[in-house]
């Protein structure tokens, strides 16, 4: 089964591409890292308890008020003498905007907090993702899409047979889309979130270091129709390199699937090594290490 890694910086249109791939004529299963990241921190989970233990004492608004909790069941009229009592913390979801304000930014303290949050959430997401990939393989799918914003940064790109980066050439367009989607964000907050997911140029540079047919860039500076055409061209090349019947062969021959998977991991690792070597060379030459778009 082919693992297609889908990534891109925030507000570049990655979710739109993911939606297109989930529909005919592709109808691919989508493993959404953002969705899994929400599920693994739901009230009562291990990650939720770890986040509370680290952030609750210094983030007063870390949890949503009880009135904003859709999971809170209807109750009888409250006792006036108990109206000031808050529900148990374990039943209140995380206030994601408040947590985002705590971890997004370039100050050393925010970077440390973001590292702590990632160390809690990422392992839980990886476990959930591995189970989802296994289910997709056993269901006989020829390919599955791993929708991961921090695909390269998390090191999961080496497991993907193909990596697709969704990008925009104009940062101005990216900022406009983000603030239109999340109007509560100030310009500074929007800029911090863009920076936290890495610049588009860096992701493009990484995918271009992969072998021909193992990586592609989908530019999304235009409209939805233009994006649909570009996705179709990319997927035509992907299916040409890994036809649907090949997925059935691998399902019937697990030993062959293991061998193909090992080869994909090696090629992904080697592409990462080449990119890192070129980055070091650019730094020695005094360049900024960013390719031209």
Q: Calculate mean pLDDT across residues 253-276.
A: 89
From the CB of residue 240, how many other CB atoms can be counted at a distance below 10 Å?
9
pLDDT at 213 over 70: yes
**pTM for the model:** 0.79
Distance CA 128, CA 33 (A): 9
pLDDT in tens, 11-61: 888 999 999 999 999 999 999 999 999 999 999 999 999 999 999 988 888
Q: How confident is the model at residue 76 (pLDDT cuts 50, 70, 90)?
A: very low
Q: Helix or strand or coil: residue 44? A: coil
Q: Helix or strand or coil: residue 2? A: strand
pLDDT for position 93: 92
More confidently predicted of 39 and 284: 39
Q: Calculate mean pLDDT across residues 203-232.
A: 89
Q: Are 282 and 289 in contact (CB under 8 A)?
A: yes
Q: Helix or strand or coil: residue 112? A: helix
Q: Calculate mean pLDDT across residues 189-213.
A: 77
Average pLDDT, the chain: 84
Q: How confident is the model at residue 87 (pLDDT cuts 50, 70, 90)?
A: very low
pLDDT at 67 over 80: no
Distance CA 284, CA 276 (A): 13
pLDDT at 291 over 70: no
Q: How confident is the model at residue 251 (pLDDT cuts 50, 70, 90)?
A: confident
Q: Helix or strand or coil: residue 30? A: strand
């Amino acid at each position: 089964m082919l693992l297609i890694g889908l990534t891109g910086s925030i507000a570049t249109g990655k979710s739109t591409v993911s939606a297109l791939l989930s529909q005919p004529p592709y109808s691919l299963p989508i493993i959404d890292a953002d969705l899994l990241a929400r599920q693994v921190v739901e009230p009562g989970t291990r990650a939720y308890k770890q986040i509370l233990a680290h952030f609750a004492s210094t983030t007063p608004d870390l949890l949503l008020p009880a009135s904003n909790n859709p999971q809170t069941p209807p109750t009888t009229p409250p006792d006036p003498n108990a109206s000031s009592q808050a529900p148990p913390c374990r039943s209140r979801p995380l206030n994601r905007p408040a947590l985002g304000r705590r971890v997004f930014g370039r100050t050393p303290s925010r970077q440390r907090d973001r590292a702590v949050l990632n160390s809690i959430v990422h392992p839980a997401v990886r476990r959930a993702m591995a189970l989802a990939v296994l289910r997709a393989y056993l269901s006989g799918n020829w390919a599955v899409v791993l929708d991961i914003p921090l695909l390269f940064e998390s090191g999961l790109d080496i497991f993907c047979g193909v990596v697709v980066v969704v990008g925009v050439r104009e940062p101005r367009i990216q900022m406009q889309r983000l603030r239109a989607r999340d109007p509560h964000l100030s310009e500074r907050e929007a800029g911090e979130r863009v920076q936290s997911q890495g610049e588009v140029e860096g992701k493009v540079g990484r995918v271009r270091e992969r072998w021909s047919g193992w990586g592609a860039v989908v530019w999304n500076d235009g409209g939805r129709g233009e994006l649909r055409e570009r996705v179709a061209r990319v997927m035509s090349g992907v299916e040409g390199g890994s036809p649907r019947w090949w997925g059935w062969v691998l399902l019937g021959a697990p030993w062959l699937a293991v061998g193909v998977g090992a080869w994909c991991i090696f090629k992904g690792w080697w592409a990462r090594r080449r990119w890192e070597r070129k980055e070091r060379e650019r730094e020695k030459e005094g360049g900024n290490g960013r390719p031209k778009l």
